[in-house]
Amino acid sequence: MGIEYRGLHDPNAEYTMRDLAAESMGIIAKRGGGRDVEITDVQTTMVDGNFPWTLVRVYTDAGIVGTGEAYWGAGAPELIERMAPFLRGENPLDVDRLTEHLLQRMSGEGSIGGVTVTAISGIEVALHDLAGTILEVPAYQLLGGKYRDAVRVYCDCHVEGGEEDGPPTQAATDAQPQPAEPLAQAEEAERVVSELGYDALKFDLDVPSGHEKDRANRHLREAEIEHKRSIVEAVTEAVGHRADVAFDCHWSFTAGSAKRLASALEPYDVWWLEDPVPPENHDVQCDVTRSTTTPIAAGENVYRTHGQRRLLQEGGVDIVAPDLPKVGGMRETVKIANLADLHYVPVAMHNVSSPVATMASAQVGAAIPNTLAVEFHSYELDLWAELVEESVIEEGYIEIPEEPGLGVTLDLDVVSEHMVEGEELFDEA
């Protein structure tokens, strides 16, 4: 028999003076117009996509459900189960108060960052879907209205090591990954633009060059920088002005190496260089960004508005890249975007999610002025589109639906077929 996470004992949560539950706050007034609704349960199901997507459902006594998604990975389902009792009996329309309530109740379990915030994010997204369904308005309307009818999508592209000089020997394959070939990257960029219709792309730069000497020290030798420069040159020249192209480093390099790399890329039309240094030291991040005219983006590994604050206030980014189902949810992403707008910084939402959180990001992208684009990380995975009944991405854009809530409907048969081994399907409405 497994652990009953819903019944774990936490004296801090039970005795907190800042209990934001409706009962403690004295919120007892009846609500008209079908708005007097109570939450009855919260459940999760994990789908085995190119990431293990954690889908979330919030149930009500009105028979209406809201569907959300937490950023992928271990721990979120258990934490969501842990929080379900804190929501039972609450009115789901109080999205902001309920999110703050969970942050307060889970403060002893790490709600300033990490997977606890991620779990709360998944619930928060489901609450927006639920609230929109109850009120019969799309989610963007709950966030203040619409700036655009469609949100641009940038396609995260991946290419295995090429074979321009013949297939690698078995010994070479066993020794290290094969170098990424600039020509192969350029050909994939051309294919994605010409055949798939995207006008915004992203490629990885933390790829093997064949010149690495040490995988641990984060230092880039000149030959490695030259290899990365050649990839950027090949890709940007291949697509020209037909597409914007960003390049991701996955927080891999030292400060000095990041500066040298960014400097080497200045002659090229780089949309942004993402996460060139690890996320913990904001001073280093700011130093790298100020050192170059190559636009620098970061933010996917920083939690909540407080985590993004220094990046924005101290000039640590040219573009901020929060991940909505990880950073705190839809309203939290709007708060980050508003803070970014005060510093005239655009928002490019990092996103490796299923169609559920992808549409949540698009709904936010419609509701804020400074949206650049939302990431799409599953362009070679048929399951992604099959997971919902609606068509989400068309010709590189997400048209914002006018249906209530998020505007996407899970195909539970597909969800059931592709669940992570050992998972159980959550209840229907």
pLDDT above 80 (res 1): no
Q: Beta partners for 156?
A: 202
- What's the sign of the alpha-carbon dihedral 234, 294, 207, 260? positive
Q: How far apart are CA 418 and CA 31, in angstroms?
A: 40
Q: How far apart are CA 130 and CA 68, in angstroms?
A: 9
- The domain made up of 23-137 is a member of CATH 1.10.3720.10: no
Q: Report the pLDDT value the prediction gives residue 337, as an integer from 0 to 100.
A: 98
Query: What global pTM score does this model have?
Result: 0.94
pLDDT by residue (tens digit) across 48-73? 999 999 999 999 999 999 999 999 99
| DSSP 8-state code for residue 405 | B
pLDDT above 80 (res 233): yes
CATH of 146-163+175-403, one of 3.40.50.300, 3.30.70.3270, 1.20.1300.10, 3.20.20.120: 3.20.20.120
Q: Report the pLDDT value the prediction gives residue 175, as an integer from 0 to 100.
A: 56
Q: Report the pLDDT value the prediction gives residue 429, as an integer from 0 to 100.
A: 81
pLDDT above 90 (res 171): no
Q: Report the pLDDT value the prediction gives residue 5, as an integer from 0 to 100.
A: 87
pLDDT by residue (tens digit) across 283-336? 999 999 999 999 999 999 999 999 999 999 999 999 999 999 999 999 999 999
Tell me where in the chain the CATH 3.20.20.120 domain(s) lie.
Answer: 146-163+175-403
Q: How far apart are CA 17 and CA 19, in angstroms?
A: 6
Report the mean per-residue pLDDT for the chain.
Answer: 94
| Overall average pLDDT of the 382-408 stretch | 98
Tell me where in the chain the CATH 3.30.390.10 domain(s) lie.
Answer: 23-137
pLDDT above 80 (res 10): no
